[in-house]
A and B are shown apart, each in its own frame.
Chain A
Amino acid sequence: MNVVGVSAYFHDSSCCLLQDGKLVAAASEERFSRFKHDPRLPIQAFRYCLEEGGIDITDIDCLAYYEQPTKKLARQLTFPIFSNGDPNLSWLDARKPEREIRELLGVEAPIRFYEHHLSHAASSFYFSGFDEAAILTVDGVGEWATCTYALGSDDHIRVLDEVRFPHSVGLFYSAITAFLGFDVLDGEYKVMGLAPYGEPRFVPEMRQLIRLREDGQVELDLRFFDFRSMNAMYTSELEELLRATPRAPESPIEAVHKDLAKSAQVVLEETLLGQAEHLFTSTRQQRLCLAGGVALNCVANARLLRDGPFEEIFVQPAAGDAGSCLGAAALAHLDLTGRRHSRDRLDHVYLGPDYASDEIAYALQKLEVLAIDFRGKDTELVATVADHLARGCVVGWFQGRAEFGPRSLGARSILADPRAEHMRDHINRLVKKREGFRPFAPSILATRVGDHLDLDHRSPFMLETCRVTSNLSLPAITHVDGSCRPQTVDGQTNPRFAALLEAFESRTGCPFLLNTSFNVRGEPIVCSPLDALRCFGASGMDYLVLADFLIPQEALPESFARFASATMPRPWNDAFSREPLHAVYTFI
């Protein structure tokens, strides 16, 4: 039984393959197309998934799509957002997903459409390993729903209630993101990162914007929001309420911006806690499954676990729309077989492409890049890399199958020593070229967590924050509020990365490594070895580890860096709508 899941036409379009109930592949189109948040039909991800599964198009039993286009259109008609300058009324074309799946992907198998938030719910519950759980999905908007309260029991999900557009926790946070001068659908985590620097002095005003009723319904005060505008999500009344002017993109971040971020974060957490309480009361479950874009707010997730009513929480690692393809596929599998596809917990997200060492060796030779060959010398490679990291070097780490979802988890990562005082600024300046306030996350051996972090369970996906309790000084990964967003690593899911952490600890006594995504600002996380080489050449990293090969920056030809920078992917207009890809808004 081969079920393909697809999410597309919004942001982070993605594809996955469930083969006899086993998740064999999942990838976002952006990793292949190199356009961040690529919303187009995931053509290349689709091909990849079939190839990984060793099947062709005749073997597909069903394609599951992550939302109901006609229902979505009804909402868009009720609140016609824009003409989008599109005289061809493309936005009225609810048949487009089905048509293009048939015509572009060439799929002849049946297509099943599932509601957006049901796909989110399924992406969490059916991959949680829980037999029973409460399910909370929260994002900007799907068809009508912006949040659902649901109960997962054995094979089935029952939606208990939903919050409907325009009332939306996600849109509240996105509007503040836009107000703070960050791109919607991309900058929300920047707001979260900025929050600890601020004071919650705007909390009363934020509470005017969003209110949680006792019945679990969320209400936005619509005087302050304008979801029909292409250029902003808020009205001038919001400026008056906050007594602040919107921050221009890329302009300096001032105290007021930090305070606004803090206040929005506080109110978001309050709201989510209230929703969790409501859901707990309705279901009396001890476990919670979370999904939807808001579930990527790891600070809020930690707060839910710490202060909320649930004992255990599972967050879908690709909680945003990318992960919805998993949910749609799981729902289709259930419909076709009568059983959920698995009762196991998703324990890793290494679901993307892998590249053979010999293939990499051949490309390096043809590039005339002098690399040190560690094939068959795993221990030596790990030891050498640990030595370099201990000396303060920044290392690009490319190993095995690429991660699915927004986080780099030791397959496509940039690694560094978290103890160095200057490391955050150093990486920001030379590699990430991003806002200096944003914290970096650590990876830590799962066996060492108790000694250094206030965390009593595994956290393999960097989806929650916790307090740093270590005696070590870890300035590069400790946020201003003393927290961090860890990835716990074990030898089963990523043995080489675990070995590296061990080797680093043996040299330094520190079981942590700074782990940030392998990309530069505006670029999707690297996918192929050549993507990695280009990113490495265009950045100031000291070493690149490409599978079994170690490449010092100085081994690159002199002209490499210049050409790597010149050929880095640039922001691109959508080939179909001609709109800049980054301008895709939450509910279009």
Chain B
Amino acid sequence: MARPKGIDNPPLDVPCELLAELLAGPGALEIARLLALSGLMDQASGRVAVSTPAPPQKPSAEPIGPWIPVLENGERMFVREPYRGTDFVWWKPSFRREAIASRANAGRRRVCLIGESAAAGMFYTPHYTPAIALSRLLATLTNADAFEVIDLTRNSMNATEVSAIAEAALQLHPDDLVVFAGNNWFAGQGLRWEAPPEERRHYSECMANRGSAGIVATFQQRVRDVADRTLEQLGHTASQGKARLLFVVPAVDLSWERVEPLAWLEGTRSCEWYELHEVAARALEACDWACAERSALAMVELDGGSNPTSQRMLGRAQLALGRRREALCAFEAELDHANAYEMFCQSIPGTPSFLRDHIVSRCRQLAIDCIDLRAVFEAHTGSPLEWQRLFLDYCHMTPEGMNVAMAAAASRLAGVDENDVSKRLVSEAEPNLNARIEGVARFYGALCTAHLMTRLLPPEPDELQSKIRAALQRSPEMAEFVRDYLRARNGALVATPMLSASSHRVIAQSNNPFLDYIAVRGVAGVDSAVVTAIGAALDDVGQGGSEALAEYLEYYELRTACGVDLTMPAYIERSGALAPYLKYESERETRRALPIYRSLWPSSAFTLVSRGDADVDVEIVCRAPLHDAAESGVARLSIGHQVLAELPIGGRWVRHRVHIAAAMLRRGCNRLVVTWPSLSTDGTCAFDEAQRRYRLAQPPHVFPVFGELFACKVNATRRRA
């Protein structure tokens, strides 16, 4: 081996060039990583001097979220810090509080409410929140000054942060710690390919033993472990601070769909599953509930119940067949099996039933007072299938929902029998909210649902339109607000979503400026379902929806006229078919996150905006990576339900040109659909390969990739005479 010139004592006296060659060869890095995974290879064994900084001395007073400790006239106060970067956006306390005394006034019980966005009252914050509801309810139940509620909730808080805030909150000398959390405890527990070896070891073992079902099982166990650690820590904190701890387990809206693709199953089972998926989807669309149920049951049989999509299909069919209890079980199973692949596909917060049951059970063991909101909401509405009015979206509550939840907490804190007083309390605590605030919250709730829910089937057009119409009807000011929202979303501005004057007006009118807007802006781009519903809803209330929509679509019409690539994020219909790496990109909205579009579903849909008066040429560059290099499959290109062309496709890129006559296009948004060749791959081999890559800390292809597009360029050409 040649050593570098001038080095008498190279630090590592092994043949490094040979070692590098070997490492770059097949299997070598896998061996090294397996050794690391097994713990046999201590990477730090004397080779690396990594200095470990001494743990900092704990200061006598620490910040509590955005509140920093100060001394005022010898008294410790916590004052709200000025702008503190991104984190500040997530803190928006109710009561518009700027300072907190470190102790409550004599004679008052201090309640610190800690929790995530549901506890923060997202979309109503700061005008109405669970903390405000709790405060009002406690005032109603007891004399007005008996309790003081401090809102320490924060959006996007994870379990570790909940524990940390609870510990920091002891500086406020609370009498009661109310922790309303659990929706975000899945975060970071799903399959992560760049995870530390210890974590990957757990997943690897389960993948090897149980296939893709093992991934979900490991995920569930890890979430339970999070709950154990968090509850123990919270119990310890409360006991240290001599505070009473009340844990409130969130409820979720079970009508929210959490569709995910199927991870590889053994042999031909994945292929069979997707064949059944197509049958079930068609049956649901055709209202053939018996067929849908039959197919869904067969899918559940194939996937062992570990896939949320089959559960949702089953629940939808059973609900339509009037079998509500079974449907409810299926919907709960859907949530239980969702979010295990948070790095791969859309994940949405929620407290699944396995976590809820575990929290309730652990609270009992740890002697922590606990309220299960599922039971509370069920008592209030009669059934989880009836409690949609308590939610704005998947977990964020309406004022009624906040009141119902906090009535249970208030009763417990005040030592009153909650069964006797809840209904009265809820009605007495009814907030008198400004109609615009209510309208904005409802509008944002509708947008959040439209943008984030991964659905089995495209939404019924009227579903979103009626929600937006209801928001518009709340206040006359809403129409201009909604029109401004459309203007702020203009396609020319996707790279700078917050620089237009229209976006500034929207932000200024949002209940929680910045945060709500960021949350509901969601995906940039055409967003055809939403903008069409907005246009129609504005028309419904006589507020010029068609004109607003035409103005909005003008940009995209111009782009089509100049030629545009529909695989740009702006044109991809969000159906959960996002590529695995999408979450890694900072600017997915503005610039291409992936150079190629990757479909995890049997079909992919794109929005083609047309003036309807010109033919369109399509140039498509595609491949089906699971196929041979030869063009052995056929992809189908359609506009709506009309098939345009059948395109030979194989494992290597191929370019096709297709012409669309103007007569096939309508003015506005058209759905250009690519239906990929059906699966024929052996799932056992594919999953083995995914496992191998996972062991190597490389992105494992746990889901079938049906097809990839490098480009789908459309260009309006000749005008119709």
Does B associate with A? yes
Interchain CB contact (< 8 A) of A71 among B20, B499, B596: B20
Instruction: Give A152 Cβ to nearest chain B Cβ, in Å.
Output: 24
Are A563 and B47 touching (Cβ within 8 A)? Answer: no
Interchain CB contact (< 8 A) of B196 among A87, A231, A359: A87
Are B653 and A108 touching (Cβ within 8 A)? Answer: yes
Are B499 and A75 touching (Cβ within 8 A)? Answer: no
Q: Quick one: CB contact mask for B8-21 with A, threshold 8 Å, 1 for yes? A: 00111010110111
The CA of A229 and the CA of B710, in the complex, are separated in Å by 42
The CA of A88 and the CA of B37, in the complex, are separated in Å by 8
Tell me, yes or no, whether B697 is within 8 Å of chain A by CB.
yes
**CB contact under 8 A between A567 and B16, given known A35-B586, A57-B621:** no
- Kindly list chain A residues whose C-beta atoms are within 8 Å of the C-beta of B197: 87-88
Nearest B residue to A161, CB-CB: B5
Are B499 and A56 touching (Cβ within 8 A)? Answer: no
Tell me, yes or no, whether A508 is within 8 Å of chain B by CB.
no
Are A33 and B586 touching (Cβ within 8 A)? Answer: yes
Nearest B residue to A81, CB-CB: B48
Q: Quick one: CB contact mask for B647-678 with A, threshold 8 Å, 1 for yes? A: 00000111100000000000000000000000
Interchain CB contact (< 8 A) of B36 among A74, A88, A108, A164: A88
Stretch touching chain B among A361-369, A416-424, A513-521: A361-369
Are B708 and A567 touching (Cβ within 8 A)? Answer: no
Instruction: Give A227 Cβ to nearest chain B Cβ, in Å.
Output: 10
Interchain CB contact (< 8 A) of B495 among A163, A166, A530, A566: A530
Tell me, yes or no, whether B54 is within 8 Å of chain A by CB.
no
**CB contact under 8 A between A564 and B499, given known A108-B652, A559-B504:** yes
Instruction: Give B595 Cβ to nearest chain A Cβ, in Å.
Output: 5
Tell me, yes or no, whether B144 is within 8 Å of chain A by CB.
no
Nearest A residue to B555, CB-CB: A362
Tell me, yes or no, whether B493 is within 8 Å of chain A by CB.
yes
Q: Quick one: CB contact mask for A154-179 with B, threshold 8 Å, 1 for yes? A: 00000000011111000000000000
Nearest B residue to A94, CB-CB: B24
**CB contact under 8 A between A32 and B591, given known A87-B196, A167-B6, A366-B493:** yes
Instruction: Give B46 Cβ to nearest chain A Cβ, in Å.
Output: 11
Tell me, yes or no, whether A69 is within 8 Å of chain B by CB.
yes
Are B29 and A367 touching (Cβ within 8 A)? Answer: no
Instruction: Give A391 Cβ to nearest chain B Cβ, in Å.
Output: 27
- Kindly list chain B residues whose C-beta atoms are within 8 Å of the C-beta of A82: 48, 50
How large, as a class, is the contact surface on chain B? 35 or more
The B interface is mostly helix, strand or loop, or mixed, namely: loop
Tell me, yes or no, whether A587 is within 8 Å of chain B by CB.
no
Tell me, yes or no, whether A207 is within 8 Å of chain B by CB.
no
**CB contact under 8 A between A366 and B48, given known A43-B595, A219-B6:** no
Tell me, yes or no, whether B457 is within 8 Å of chain A by CB.
no
Interchain CB contact (< 8 A) of A89 among B4, B36, B85: B36
Tell me, yes or no, whether A326 is within 8 Å of chain B by CB.
no
Are B499 and A366 touching (Cβ within 8 A)? Answer: no
Are B48 and A80 touching (Cβ within 8 A)? Answer: yes
The CA of A89 and the CA of B38, in the complex, are separated in Å by 13
The CA of A329 and the CA of B504, in the complex, are separated in Å by 46
Q: Which of A74, A104, A105, A557 has the most CB of B within 10 A?
A: A74
- Kindly list chain B residues whose C-beta atoms are within 8 Å of the C-beta of A47: 592, 595
Q: Quick one: CB contact mask for B628-655 with A, threshold 8 Å, 1 for yes? A: 0000000000000000000000001111
Tell me, yes or no, whether A5 is within 8 Å of chain B by CB.
no
Are B592 and A43 touching (Cβ within 8 A)? Answer: yes
- Kindly list chain A residues whose C-beta atoms are within 8 Å of the C-beta of B699: 103
- Kindly list chain A residues whose C-beta atoms are within 8 Å of the C-beta of B23: 70, 73, 77, 92, 94
Are A563 and B504 touching (Cβ within 8 A)? Answer: yes
The CA of A46 and the CA of B594, in the complex, are separated in Å by 11
- Kindly list chain B residues whose C-beta atoms are within 8 Å of the C-beta of A94: 20, 23-24
Q: Which of A88, A228, A531, A534 has the most CB of B within 10 A?
A: A88
Tell me, yes or no, whether A251 is within 8 Å of chain B by CB.
no
Instruction: Give A10 Cβ to nearest chain B Cβ, in Å.
Output: 17
26 contacts between A and B (CB under 8 A): A32-B591, A33-B591, A46-B595, A47-B592, A47-B595, A78-B16, A79-B10, A83-B44, A83-B47, A87-B36, A88-B196, A92-B29, A92-B32, A106-B653, A167-B6, A228-B48, A229-B49, A366-B493, A557-B504, A559-B508, A560-B501, A563-B498, A563-B504, A572-B586, A575-B585, A576-B584
Instruction: Please give 14 more A-B residue pairs, beta carbons under 8 A apart, in addition to A56-B655, A368-B502, A576-B584.
Output: A44-B591, A57-B653, A69-B24, A74-B20, A77-B23, A78-B3, A78-B4, A82-B48, A106-B596, A108-B652, A228-B48, A534-B496, A570-B85, A575-B584
Query: When A and B form their complex, which 9 residue pairs have the shortest distance between CB atoms, in order from nearest?
Result: A74-B20, A368-B501, A88-B697, A73-B20, A77-B16, A164-B4, A94-B24, A74-B17, A559-B504
Chain B residues proximal to chain A, CB less than 8 Å: 3-7, 10-12, 14, 16-17, 19-21, 23-24, 29, 32-33, 36, 43-44, 47-51, 85, 194, 196-197, 487, 490, 492-493, 495-496, 498-504, 508, 555, 558, 581, 584-587, 591-596, 621, 652-655, 697-699, 708, 710-711
Chain A residues proximal to chain B, CB less than 8 Å: 32-35, 43-44, 46-47, 56-58, 69-71, 73-75, 77-80, 82-83, 85, 87-90, 92-95, 99, 103-106, 108, 144, 163-167, 217, 219, 228-231, 359, 362-363, 366-368, 528, 530-531, 533-534, 537, 557, 559-560, 563-564, 566-567, 570, 572, 575-576
